[in-house]
Each structure stands twice: as structure tokens, then as C-alpha cells.
């Protein structure tokens, strides 16, 4: 499978890294209008064994394999067809709707995978609803890393016990859009605060996206996200009211069983005393921490899961592309 990557920031780099660990993937081309090849080589994970070097301003060497690099702002101008790139991993936030993402198709790509929630593109989360993908879909979304953490967990709970309603509190690591020191804000005053010193309320569409991935939960989950001063790891704190009475031990058993079965490698289960930083390079989307949760009544329960931000998420992006390739109709 030949992939093209639009935007070589953290997600773009990690998608490339994960894809290159597999024999069935090839990086056909990279496009980024904001950074040059020197920046790309510097940002790429240093533990990539074959190594990454800069051949020139328009070429990166992954090991010995040359990969062309472009800097087009308009996706229609990227020569995907010439490079043979079939699956485009879209990581730039300006192209999250179908109309804008379709520019890649005009440039010769076959499929576009939007690495963000989308208002109109169908959303697929591996382990939850990827089986619903149809070959005629040319543009899809993989939602966010938070949705990929939340969806497998609520799927297990809803399938086993039913969910009446739920409240999600998300603790998300600081982002590159925040300030390291206090500075006049770009959009709103709270954005001016120093990220290493403050916990800030934020906004996200993760709970809404879960409703698109699992229609039975549409409108049943609300979310209160916070940006916290951690560099990488994030967590979700989920409180749900169940349709059926269940003890916390029964709920733990259901999650543990799925983590060792259908959702192995996607949903994790831990009971040991751990820190979130223990999961920095964990490729699972969601790691349920049994000791952090509690049964609050006959049908009310609090559950906690953490995730390594983009590492697990990018693994799922690559897995979704592999699934799409198996069903392709072109």
C-alpha cells in the first residue's frame, strides 16, 4: 500500500513510523507547506533503525529509499498520481470536511483518511465500527485520539450492560497551539496562560464523534475537557448510568475479557499501580485502569482509561488503511 502524507507534524511523523514497521506499506510522498526536509528529519522518531537523512530540499531518505517531498498549500497541486500515492493521510486541520479533502482525489489519490473529527465524512474507529466501511467511500475520518480511547471502552460497556447516559471528563496533554509563557491570546484570553502552569478548560467533539461511531449512543454522552500540564499522556474519566444492574467487578471482568479477545491490542486492562507515563509508547488506543474506577451504585459507575495521545491513534490509522485496502474496489 502506497501512502502519501499531507502534514508532517507529530501525527504525520508517527503514521510514517508505524507504516514503515510493516512490510505491506510504502511512503510514496510527503507534502508539508510549513516545514522543510531538515525539520522533518529532525522531528522523525530517532529510534527508526534504518535512519532518516536529508538528500536535498525535495527528498528524504528513509534508510536508502528516497521519498519525494513537496510544499504545496493547495492539495490539488500535489502530484500524488505521479508518485503512485493511493491513500492520503490528511493531518492538516484546514482539510477536515469532504469538499476540501476531495482536492486530494483531484490530484490523483484514490482514498483520503482525515486524521481529525469531520462534520460530514464518515468516521471509523478500528475495533469499533471499521467493519462498516464500504469500498465506495473515498473520504473517511479516523476521529481524534480521544475518541479512539473512549469508543472501545463505551462499546464494551454498552454491549454488555447498556448505557442510559454518561459524562466524560477528558484530561488532555498540552498542545503546540498553547503558550509556554503568558502572552496575548490569538483567540481567547484563557489561551494566553502558560501551559506548563495551568489547567485550562477546553472544547472537543469526542463525545459527539462517539455518537457517530456508535449510533445507539448518539446524544447520550456529554464531555468536559481540560488541558493539563503533561507533555504526552492523556486520560478520560467516564461516569455512566447503566440500563442493567452490574457490580464493578462484573464490569471489570467484561473489559478484561474483551481486552484479551476481540479488542486485544486496542483496549488494554491494568490493575497494577501505574503512572500515565508508563504508556508513552503504548500502541493501544485505550488502557483501562481498574483501580482508578469505582461502582457508585447499582447502575452507576466511574471508569478511567488513559492513552498515549497520538502513538496508539496513528497505529489505528495505519490499521484502518490496511482494512480499506482489503476491501478496495478499484
Residue ranges of the annotated binding site are: 32, 309
Look up cell 472537543; give the residue. Answer: 204
E-assigned strand segments in the chain: 2-6, 26-31, 52-56, 59-62, 65-70, 87-90, 111-114, 139-141, 163-173, 200-201, 221-228, 234-242, 267-270, 286-289, 294-295, 300-307
The DSSP annotation for 51-82 comes to -EEEEETTEEEETTEEEEEE--SSGGGS-HHH
User: Residue 163 — φ and ψ, nearest 5°?
Assistant: -115, 125
Among this protein's residues, is 314 annotated catalytic?
A: no
Count H helices, E strands: the chain?
9, 16
The strand pairing partners of 4, in sequence order, are: 29, 88
At 287, is the secondary structure helix, strand, or coil?
A: strand
Please check whether residue 153 is in contact with residue 267, taking contact to mean a CB–CB distance below 8 angstroms. Answer: yes
* Catalytic option among 13, 145, 149, 314: 145
As annotated, the binding site for NAD(+) includes 32, 309
Residue 106 near residue 76 (C-beta atoms within 8 A): yes
Strand partners, 114: 90, 141
| Nearest residue to 171 (alpha-carbon basis) of 92, 232, 124 | 232
Catalytic residues: 145
Amino acid at each position: 500500500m502506497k501512502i502519501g502524507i499531507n502534514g508532517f507534524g507529530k501525527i504525520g511523523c508517527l503514521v510514517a513510523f508505524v507504516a514503515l514497521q510493516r512490510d505491506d506499506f510504502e511512503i510514496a510522498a510527503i507534502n508539508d507547506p510549513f516545514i522543510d526536509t531538515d525539520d522533518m528529519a529532525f522531528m522523525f522518531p530517532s529510534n527508526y533503525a534504518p535512519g532518516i537523512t536529508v538528500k536535498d530540499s525535495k527528498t528524504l531518505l528513509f534508510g536508502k529509499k528516497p521519498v519525494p517531498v513537496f510544499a504545496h498549500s493547495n492539495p490539488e497541486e500535489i502530484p500524488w498520481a505521479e508518485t503512485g500515492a493511493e491513500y492520503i493521510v490528511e493531518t492538516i486541520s484546514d482539510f477536515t470536511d469532504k469538499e476540501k479533502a476531495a482536492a486530494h482525489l483531484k490530484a490523483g489519490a484514490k482514498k483520503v483518511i482525515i486524521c481529525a473529527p469531520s462534520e460530514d465524512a464518515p468516521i471509523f474507529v478500528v475495533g469499533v465500527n471499521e467493519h462498516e466501511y464500504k469500498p465506495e467511500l473515498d473520504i473517511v475520518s479516523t476521529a481524534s485520539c480521544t475518541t479512539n480511547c473512549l469508543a472501545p471502552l463505551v462499546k464494551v460497556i454498552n454491549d454488555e450492560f447498556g448505557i442510559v447516559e454518561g459524562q466524560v471528563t477528558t484530561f488532555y496533554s498540552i498542545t503546540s497551539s498553547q503558550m509556554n509563557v503568558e502572552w496575548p491570546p490569538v483567540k481567547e484570553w484563557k489561551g494566553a496562560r502558560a501551559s506548563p502552569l495551568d489547567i485550562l478548560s477546553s472544547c472537543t467533539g469526542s463525545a459527539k464523534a462517539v455518537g457517530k461511531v456508535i449510533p445507539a449512543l448518539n446524544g447520550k454522552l456529554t464531555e468536559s475537557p481540560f488541558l493539563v500540564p503533561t507533555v504526552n499522556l492523556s486520560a478520560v474519566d467516564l461516569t455512566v448510568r447503566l440500563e442493567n444492574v452490574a457490580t464493578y467487578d462484573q464490569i471489570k471482568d467484561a473489559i478484561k475479557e474483551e481486552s484479551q479477545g476481540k479488542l486485544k491490542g486496542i483496549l488494554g486492562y491494568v490493575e497494577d499501580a501505574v503512572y500515565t507515563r508508563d504508556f508513552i509508547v503504548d500502541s493501544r488506543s485505550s488502557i483501562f485502569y481498574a483501580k482508578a474506577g469505582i461502582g457508585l451504585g447499582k447502575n452507576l459507575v466511574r471508569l478511567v482509561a488513559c492513552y498515549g495521545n497520538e502513538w496508539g491513534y496513528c497505529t489505528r490509522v495505519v490499521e484502518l488503511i490496511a482494512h480499506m485496502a482489503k476491501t478496495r474496489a478499484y
